[in-house]
Structure 1
């Protein structure tokens, strides 16, 4: 197979999908729609180059986004024109391969099997495009009045990518009516025969808020979501304060331990290690090592957060329950959430810290110690 450039058309200003920014920069999960689209094309080994066509006003948005994409297939972006066709032509002029795939930036759900089909289609055709036969009944309607039924057996709806020989589509665009709504129309007007290739309902184009919600469901099915649990106990001994989630609280005793004995932060840290399948605090910071004597527990938590980043995960949610008779946790819960948020970079609204008692039963009920359990939810970036 000869070389292929994927041209992603992302110069539109549409905001109907909400959020007040161009839809291609609205996020699904932790990634903008356009990043999902780029990564769906980067995943195919036959694609040797990707050129994004963006609006000049979106340059900063785009450059901030692509710092998270480390792939030399991604070329410098080009600026689009006043119409979609003008923008596509700018992308075509920047392409350097034998073939081009022209794809909408607002189609982030392109599956690899559909991409395979369109690329395979180029082996026997100069041009091809993804399309789906229409399943719904069609009516011609004028001024809210039904005029006639339209036979659907010959009606297909076009999708992207649409694939062409570079030299042929360049010449077609050079002499084209730039008001065309897709590339097949321009190719047809230039006498290029274009073969339809079966697309997929999953390959939606995001236009409205409902489309955005559907894309979240589709992409959510492919997310790598991890949940980890942590549990820790420390005894109470002589002292005048306890440290819980980094907050010092006056008390008649202190928590005993090799480090600062922050039982709550230890539970959160272990929950993160668990979600990553990376053991526990004892393995990373063994109590036999004097280096960690009286160490602040935020060191341990920061290490877990760093591992998340190295493994390409982000922490989506943290839930921590502190089990004790005293001290009362409620007055300090907000400060604890804020401190954990600072350390983990998790939005404070996604952090829950609460307390319960054991109704004076067991070692916590007798004020002999404090226990904590935590759950951390991680999602691959």
Structure 2
């Protein structure tokens, strides 16, 4: 029995203010391609991903200039002010039974092997989906309330994970979870948080640590190094 389609959803309407650049971070270049192009290429290279929907800001002047903008395997929609708004807009292009593989525009180093492992979640009946994640290895400190960078206490790192992407869920269930979170004013920092709030169980899939998110200028050379290792630069 064949699976429903796996469609990648890429929210790319953010401004990336921490990069201190003249354009959103997804349009900064690593080698010959923008970060967003590297990310889209990595997703398109996976044989089980049938299509990609990318959500960009309305009137975005940068995306139409990219060679990938007219690719037949890509659909472009207008994103929103928040990540959840962009994901919700992209989900309008999917059937309820499709699997939405939501991935950050600024994670260009995701590996095909990790996507393979995440897609195995579709075979499980104990969870509604799963996310790539890495166990917390560093000592975690909680800052004092109303104090400037002063430690309140050390948090136990046992059973703590860093949530990464892609995150994989049925499109219909994710859409409904996002609607419920908005109605209840529940903060949605990633898709899993909406699914958890709706009562769904979500699997943690150990990810390659190279799957970094570019958020600051210092992340650029590291991402370039990882991309060089996969010869996609």
TM over 0.5: yes
User: Could you give the per-residue CA deviations for residues 58-91 of structure 1, whole angstroms, max 9, x where no partner exists?
Assistant: 2x311211x247753212x111112111111111
TM-aligned CA deviation for residue 35 of structure 1: 0.4
In 1: Cα distance, 2:40 partner to 2:119 partner: 16
The RMSD of aligned alpha carbons is 1.8
Task: Provide the rounded CA distance (Å) in 1 between the counterparts of 2:123 and 2:10.
Answer: 22
1:79 aligns with: 78
The 3 A distance-change label for structure 1 pair 172 and 70 is same
Q: Which residue of 1 aligns with 2:99?
A: 99
Pick closer, same or farther for the CA change 1:70–1:90 going to 2, 3 Å. closer
Whether the 8 Å CA contact 2:122–2:129 is kept in 1: the answer is: yes
- Contact 2:63–2:69 (Cα < 8 Å) also in 1: no
Note the 1:140-179 alignment, pairs <5 A: 140-142=142-144, 143=147, 144-177=149-182, 179=187
Higher RCO structure (Cα 8 Å, ≥6 apart): 2
C-alpha distance in 1 between matches for 2:80 and 2:19: 22
1:118 and 2:126 aligned: no
Q: 1:165 offset after TM fit, Å?
A: 0.9
Residues 209-288 of structure 1: pairs in structure 2 closer than 5 A? 209-223=217-231
| Deviation digits for residues 22-54 of structure 1 (CA, Å, limit 9, x no counterpart) | 000111001010000001100111111100010
Paired residue secondary structure (1:205): coil
Aligned partners of 1:19, 1:167: CA distance in 2, in Å? 36
Query: How far apart in 1 are the matches of 2:135 and 2:13?
Result: 28
Q: What is the match of residue 186 of structure 1? A: 194
Higher Cα Rg: structure 1 or 2?
1
Unaligned segments of structure 1, at least 5 residues = 225-380
What is the TM-score with the length of structure 2 in the denominator?
A: 0.89
How many Å separate the matches in 2 of 1:157 and 1:57? 33
Deviations 1:236-269 (A, max 9, x none): xxxxxxxxxxxxxxxxxxxxxxxxxxxxxxxxxx
SS at match of 1:169: helix
Classify the secondary structure of the residue corresponding to 1:7. strand
TM-score calculated relative to the size of structure 1: 0.56
Residue 57 of structure 1: how far off its partner (Å): 3.1
Write out per-residue CA displacement over residues 359-378 of structure 1, whole angstroms, 9 at most, x where no aligned residue. Answer: xxxxxxxxxxxxxxxxxxxx
When the two structures are aligned, how many residues end up with a matched partner? 222
1:69 to 1:91, Cα distance in 2 relative to 1, 3 A = closer
Distance 2:19 2:25 in 1: 6
State the distance in 2 between where 1:68 and 1:10 align: 14
Runs in 1 of length 4+ with deviation above 6 angstroms?
Answer: none
Q: What is residue 65 of structure 2 aligned with on the other side?
A: 64
